Structure 1
């Protein structure tokens, strides 16, 4: 039952962070320029970098939070239920990434001044959305990866393999030998 609780708490905490991340992403990411025509909104400048910049800001925001969540999850799970926390980081990271896209697309906090190259028609700020869907996995991958790296470092630090020969040096202290290999 504690495993289920730890999993659920991790997922819910990351979901709440996903809402905050969506707000931050909406504030930081630029909006692509659109022109309203009879057919509806059309991308005003096909060479705009705003679409790529929005994906980049999404990766930065969710990646940084993924690393922070992985480290926090590791520190909080030292009591003995790391599997539930790792699974919660993975599932919660996916949910948080999705919530980041939904909230970031719904809010309009970023810069509203846009420019379209070579257009006389006024451009309007378009919706914020992802064009590279692969960045959705930045949060869960970095969270689980950070957890795994920290767990690996701690396991190696406590491992008997780190100290071969049972922790004893078979050659004795180095000060009793000459550099050339002979005794003093």
Structure 2
């Protein structure tokens, strides 16, 4: 080649060469569909795991939330005190535990799904927080409920017992009688996930949220950590 004639750009030096298969051909349609469906599958799997973790959360809530003292009468069960504080305490315990569950879930997603940081992790955490809250509520409120109904049906008038914890400040509405829509403090686990995950992303040193270089930070003594031009560390 003459000095005035630039050397043709080699295929291996083009940016898209890294994304092509080794054989030089374009990715097949099946490969593209698989690549696109993988993040959705990971998000769904993480959301299902968080939903399942709502079961131990519900058992913990049932263990720490106080039952409300009631008395059996001919008209049914009535509160022993006119304005009991136990239902408020049950709502408070669920709110605190649910918010803590959301914070821990966001940290776990951030650390475990390092290569899926971003919208995929945020979506998985939010959906899992909603599902886990509903599971925790339904499971926790049923602990001791059979005993309560049995005493309500068979105990003589004047018998004192306790009513299991339940939520007053949260529940599920049915939109058009088809779609369940949680409200109230059932939204707190998802809220905790969204806020914590967003803060972790905002304070990340890597704007693209890609996995950090091996070796951690700060760099070892006498060495430097270099980053790719397209992914510089945030100031």
TM bin, normalised by shorter chain, reads: 0.7 to 0.9
1:81 and 1:6 mapped to 2: Cα distance? 11
Pick one of 100, 103, 127 that aligns with 1:91: 127
Alignment of 1:131 onto 2:168: yes
Other-structure match for 2:139: 103
Equivalents in 2 of 1:144, 1:98: separation in Å?
17
Structure with the higher fraction of residues in strand conformation: 2
- Structure showing the higher helix proportion among its residues: 1
Instruction: Provide the secondary structure at the position in 1 that maps to 2:67.
Output: coil
- Structure 2 stretches of 5 or more lacking a match? 1-36, 149-157, 171-183, 208-232
Q: For CA contacts below 8 A with separation 6 or more, give which structure has more relative contact order.
A: 1
Matched residues in 2 for 1:12 and 1:126: separation?
31
**Aligned pair 1:140/2:177, yes or no?**
no
Structure showing greater Rg: 2
Aligned length: 150
Alpha-carbon separation, structure 2, partners of 1:147 and 1:81: 9
Structure 1 unaligned residues grouped into runs of 5+: 113-120, 163-184
TM-score by length of 1: 0.75
Checking the alignment, whether the CA contact within 8 Å between 2:110 and 2:117 is kept in structure 1 is no
Q: Shift of residue 148 of structure 1? A: 0.5
Shift of 1:10: 1.4
What is the alpha-carbon root mean square deviation over aligned residues? 2.0
Provide runs of 4+ in structure 1 moved above 4 Å: none
TM-score scaled to structure 2, two decimals? 0.59
Whether the 8 Å contact between 2:127 and 2:190 is mirrored in structure 1 is yes
